[in-house]
């Protein structure tokens, strides 16, 4: 996950939620950053308390001097798309997670997913709106099943190393220009959407803003009790974030509980 010092505390909340709810003994936490985080030692100490191994992945931005960059396409968009270039070669798969998520059930059902011949696994939120066909038209990828959210992605690093090339990404940006609204997510969908396995968002990328729509889509089955029992990943998408005092949506109390527990552990 690429982050900066402004969201280190949020990362610790996410990591704490993973540790509390996932049935595995060893964790490797790879955090892409440029420059090195000022709170890197704090993060390392926190991971040690959780029994996790922290691996800072510091990127030299100079390698992107020839890449297309603007205010809309900062160098950071390449961190997620080209993560395979900076991760250890012995890693065969990795789970990418944004920092605005909570893990509230066991992650292993996702991490151990059989990807078959797909390079990625990700969820789509387009079942909750009508933009799917518009995105296919906008991005010029009619072979993809859906439009995928890139905040939670299982990656087959061996397949990605073989097929995903930096020059293909650079050329696609030059070609598409202003048609890319969410640059790295749009690039992922436009270039590689047909190589993404679709996973259920109600389990692995539940958009916390959309409670009424999930409830309606499931004919009333996916209520708060169902989510607590079954959903693995709550994703706090959008501008309103649960770590802000003014956030009062349905899962705000749940997030603030994990935030409080992570803070308490940090200062023990």
We report the CATH number of the domain holding residue 52 as 3.90.550.10
104-132 pLDDT tens trace: 999 999 999 999 999 999 999 865 554 56
- Full domain range(s) for residue 36: 5-266
Residue 74: predicted pLDDT = 73
Residue 151: predicted pLDDT = 93
Residue 146: predicted pLDDT = 85
Nearest to 75 by CA among 61, 87, 86, 85: 61
Contact 51, 19 (CB under 8 A): yes
Question: Which three-class secondary structure state does DSSP give residue 228?
Answer: helix
Q: Average pLDDT of 199-216?
A: 95
Tell me the residue ranges of DSSP E strands in 59-195. 93-97, 101-103, 120-124, 148-156
- As a whole-number percent, the residues of the chain with pLDDT over 70 amount to 91
Contact 97, 2 (CB under 8 A): no
What band does 73 get if pLDDT is binned at 50, 70 and 90? low
What mean pLDDT value characterizes the chain?
A: 90
> Considering only 1-10, 12-21, 111-120, 215-224, which range has the smallest mean pLDDT?
1-10
Cis peptide bond prior to 28, omega within 30° of 0: no
Domain count, the chain: 1
> Considering only 51-60, 65-74, 118-127, 185-194, which range has the smallest mean pLDDT?
65-74
Q: Average pLDDT of 48-76?
A: 83
Residue 134: predicted pLDDT = 66
Is a pLDDT exceeding 80 seen at residue 144?
no
Residue in the block written with tokens 């309606």: 216
Residue 140: predicted pLDDT = 67
Evaluate if pTM is beyond 0.75.
yes
Is a pLDDT exceeding 80 seen at residue 167?
yes
| 257 vs 80, more confident | 257
What band does 139 get if pLDDT is binned at 50, 70 and 90? low
Is a pLDDT exceeding 80 seen at residue 220?
yes
What band does 155 get if pLDDT is binned at 50, 70 and 90? very high
Is a pLDDT exceeding 80 seen at residue 7?
yes
What band does 174 get if pLDDT is binned at 50, 70 and 90? confident
Residue 27: predicted pLDDT = 97
Backbone angles phi, psi at 57, to 5 degrees: -115, 95
């Amino acid at each position: 996950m690429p982050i900066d010092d402004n969201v280190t505390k949020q990362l610790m909340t996410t990591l704490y939620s993973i540790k509390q709810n996932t049935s595995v003994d060893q964790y490797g936490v790879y955090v892409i950053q440029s420059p090195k985080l000022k709170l890197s030692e704090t993060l390392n100490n926190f991971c040690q308390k959780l029994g996790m191994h922290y691996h800072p992945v510091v990127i030299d931005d100079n390698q992107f001097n020839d890449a297309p960059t603007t205010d809309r396409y900062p160098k950071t968009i390449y961190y997620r798309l080209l993560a395979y270039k900076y991760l250890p070669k012995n890693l065969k798969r990795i789970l990418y997670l944004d920092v605005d998520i909570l893990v509230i059930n066991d992650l292993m059902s996702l991490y151990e997913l059989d990807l078959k011949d797909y390079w990625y696994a990700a969820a789509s939120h387009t079942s909750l709106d009508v933009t799917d066909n518009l995105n296919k038209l906008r991005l010029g990828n009619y072979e993809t099943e859906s439009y995928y959210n890139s905040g939670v992605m299982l990656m087959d690093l061996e397949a990605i190393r073989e097929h995903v090339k930096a020059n293909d990404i650079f050329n696609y940006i030059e070609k598409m220009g202003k048609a890319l609204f969410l640059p790295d997510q749009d690039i992922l969908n436009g270039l590689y959407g047909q190589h993404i396995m679709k996973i259920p968002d109600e389990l692995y990328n539940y958009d916390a803003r959309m409670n009424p729509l999930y409830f309606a889509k499931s004919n009333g089955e996916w209520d708060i009790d169902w989510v607590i029992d079954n959903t693995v990943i709550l994703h706090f998408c959008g501008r309103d974030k649960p770590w802000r005092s003014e956030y009062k949506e349905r899962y705000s109390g749940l997030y603030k509980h994990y935030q409080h527990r992570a803070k308490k552990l940090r200062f023990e």
